Amino acid sequence: MAVKGVSEHCDLLLVVGSQNSSNSKRLVEVGDNFGVRSYLVNDKRDIDTAWLERRQERGGDRGASAPEYLVQELVEFLRDRDSMIWKR
């Protein structure tokens, strides 16, 4: 439900989680299904800065097992770049 809510307000969704996490992959699918370009990243190093170009609002979520410190690093990275929406 959180991804659905965020998807209404953003044009890019980043999900923090492992590539082998079915939960994290599902969050990306939900974003994609709502027409939001969505990516699964392990941490901020996985972000391709080209994804951020021409994006007005960035949103995010995390898989159930993603550690909080990775989420905070990603939030700080994006705050440094521009405004964003974050749910969870």
Distance from C-alpha of 85 to C-alpha of 64, rounded to nearest angstrom: 19
pTM of the complete model: 0.82
Phi, psi of 33 (to 5 degrees): -65, -25
Integer angstrom CA distances of residue 35 from 8, 57, 64, 81, 87? 9, 14, 23, 23, 18
- Write out the chain's pLDDT in tens, 88 residues: 777 777 778 889 999 999 999 999 999 999 999 899 999 999 999 999 888 887 778 788 889 889 999 989 988 888 877 655 445 4
Q: Is 78 helix (H, G, I), strand (E, B) or coil?
A: helix
Nearest alpha-carbon partner for 13 in 33, 35, 34, 31: 31
